[in-house]
Structure 1
Amino acid sequence: MLTKKQRELLLYIRDHLSHSGVSPSFDEMKDALNLKSKSGIHRLVTALEERGFIRRLAHRARAVEILRLPEDLGPVPQTTNQNPTPDNPLLQSGVQAANQSLSVDETLQLPLYGKIAAGTPIEALNDPASYVDVPTGLIGRGDHYALTVEGDSMIEAGILDGDTVLIQRCDVIENGQIGVAFVDNVEATLKHVRRQSGKIELEPANASYETKVYDAERVQVQGKLVGLLRQYH
């Protein structure tokens, strides 16, 4: 069962593909659904993808293919390839051709939850302070958010004070991956996360800091690092 907005977006994508042969941009989707930011569109697109109605082609911004429609809407429409490229194996259908020709500079807005200490844990995240525009090529599928790094405990991993890190929401990561860990449900930190015999180690990437070890039930993983933004002044 789709929500009203999910169904509305799916119909808009269908009609846009049928009429123009190309997928709509996130800005066009936002305007069509009268939403204030592209982050809402990102959540709707993710929900439709998770439910198997659409598919985003890897490494292609705005590349949306409709896989199925609700039963009351009939079959998936076919589109005409307006820009054929016979030697490209991806361009075997109208929808795929449209997806392949989409712009690669599309951005989406991720919630920016302010500063997270990379040296000393800080109070857990609350409502986002603002949003940050992120190129879609920097992140993959799933739900994401952004944090501002404060501290130098991850400098040997290339993460500097003032960097904006992009985090994919998840509660399990592989040993050694860099992730956001919540300690005792009140403090957050960005570290290498390792599980060892009922314990969780939060390991910095700076020889000046010590690894901290907690009982597993005291630590909750809130996401893994997937990208980084840096400004040079």
Structure 2
Amino acid sequence: MKTSRFFLAGISAVALLGTSACVTDPNTGERKVSRTVLGGAGGAIAGGLLGGVIGGKTGRIIGAAAGAAGGGYVGYRMDQQIKELREQTAGSGVDVTEVDGGEAILVNLPDGVTFATGSYTINQTFRNTLDRVAENLTQYPNSLIDVYGYTDSTGSDSFNQRLSEQRAQAVADYLTSRGVATSRIRWQGFGEDTRYAVGDNNTAEGRALNRRVEIKIVPFDQSDVNAAQQAQGN
């Protein structure tokens, strides 16, 4: 029997760190450390809301399910989506990994090619890559999508917080403009919050890793829809 994803939010961060620090490449079967889960700044945990989604799943699943296919969404299909995302973004600098113990997909959009320094306007040269990501998301409609924005520690806290929000919103708006249902998408900026740092802010390389936008894809299936409807009814 499949363990419901609703219980993931209650699992401790330490336990999830043990299962998510190493991920399995669905194309090769190789186990490797995910740079989107472990960072140089004290092994911080990244990926926005580990084991959860913005605003909780119950209402969002019900809303998203109305426009989704409604069929099963486990195992092979999720592996297939990861494989296709990697193929569609190859050579762009985008990193695609499993997170939340294999229950979600994280698409890491790199600094520099996605936005110019200090800007939240998506670079024209990167829009073709985002078009392919949007096409993939519409092809696999049974999922919730969170978009997270992060910065490094350079500059004021308020500026970095606002910039992270603007960048996350810019990516979310772009995806919806390319046909991804708005009911599936939420966005949030985390600024320079060190809890989500994946690099050392004392080095140029670490700061570059911390300046990023992540798209988290959380698949759901019919059992999740049923559980959400039951929870809402209660």
TM-score range, shorter chain: under 0.3
Greater fraction of residues in strand:
1
Larger radius of gyration: 1
TM-score of the aligned structures, taking structure 1 as reference length: 0.26
Which structure has more RCO (C-alpha within 8 Å, separation ≥ 6)? 2
TM-score of the aligned structures, taking structure 2 as reference length: 0.26
